[in-house]
Structure 1
Amino acid sequence: MNIFEELLISLKRASEVSISVMRPRDTGEVNHGLMILLFMIYSKGQIKTNEISEHFGVTSGAATGIADKLENLGLIERKRSIEDRRIVISTLTAKGLDLVEAKKREHVQLYEYILNDFSNEEIIKTIQMLNKISAKIESYLTEQHEED
């Protein structure tokens, strides 16, 4: 096994165990998948319905159903784009923002507990390396998009 295969296995494992430790905390009507979507909206500020279908690999009808559920729970609001009325944009409501920020605090506390024996230097170095990997992947994706 070469070093890049080991890296991919390590990244996948870290992602899977991270999800497995957070998933049980996402209970009630807002399951883990819906929380991921709320976090996406939180980080982007807004999201189009077609981005939901692309990210989750579902039809536009299923993406609309997901958005309907979050809107009915009072966590997002949807508006049609002024430039193109066919585009529907979702943003977090105050209730949705409160939920995401509470989950974010919960996740931070969880990782503070799990990683309590890591030094600050180890954590900082890990953050730097993960950010560097992410930037390289994003650069690659941009190049691929420009070639298409």
Structure 2
Amino acid sequence: MAEDTERALKLFIVLSRASKVILEEAHIPINKFGLNPTEFAVLELLYHKGMQPIQKIGQKILLRSGSMTYVVDKLEKRGLLERVFCEEDKRVTYMSITPEGVNLMTAIFPEHAENIESLMAALTVEEQELAISLIRKLGLSVKSLS
């Protein structure tokens, strides 16, 4: 096997394993509040960015349309989100976080942020900046191939 191929495979394995371990640890505080990672991602987006069209939420958190509807329905039943119908375009439905959803995110987010900070603390600030740059470059280059 060529040296370039071996290195690429090793990088893929290292990235995959690191991602799996980091995500598992990152989800621990979220799970304590009865949310799965996808539900948290939807709530976090609406908490920080405000009301969003349902189609855009799926795009931003990389979730398929059918799955998006299921997640939104679950969060709406829990009273954490609500649908807001667009007056100008009946085809567009917005999702908005409810006061109960805001209260939940206000309780979860500080612990989540501290957890993420501690997970990344193995790298110096400079290493974190370099990792951000390199991983972004890799992701954008892969995306441009498709």
TM bucket normalised to smaller: 0.5 to 0.7
Of 1, 20, 24, 2:24 maps to 20
Q: Deviations over 1:37-78 (max 9, x none)?
A: 32344566414158649944463xx64343222123232221
Structure 1 32/75 Cα, relative in aligned 2: closer, same or farther at 3 Å?
same
Out of 91-100 and 7-16, give the one that drifted further. 91-100
- Going from structure 1 to structure 2, the CA distance change for 1:22 and 1:56 (only over 3 Å counts) comes to same
Give structure 1 stretches of 5+ with no counterpart: none
Query: Is 2:101 the counterpart of 1:105?
Result: no
2:135 to 130, 136, 144: 130
Contact persistence 2:80–2:97 (CA under 8 A): yes
Partners of 1:103 and 1:66 lie apart in 2 by 18
TM-score w.r.t. length of structure 2: 0.68
User: How large is the Cα RMSD of the aligned pairs?
Assistant: 3.3
Which structure has more relative contact order (CA 8 Å, sep 6+)? It is 2
Identical positions, percent: 27
Aligned twin of 1:92:
97
Aligned residues: 139
Match of 2:81 in 1: 76
The one-letter code of the counterpart of 2:21 is V
Aligned pairs (5 A) from 1:30-49:
30-42=35-47, 45=50, 46-48=52-54
Q: SS state of the match for residue 89, structure 1?
A: strand
Q: TM-score, normalised by structure 1?
A: 0.67
Deviation at 1:20, TM superposition (A): 0.8
1:48/1:89 contact within 8 Å kept: yes
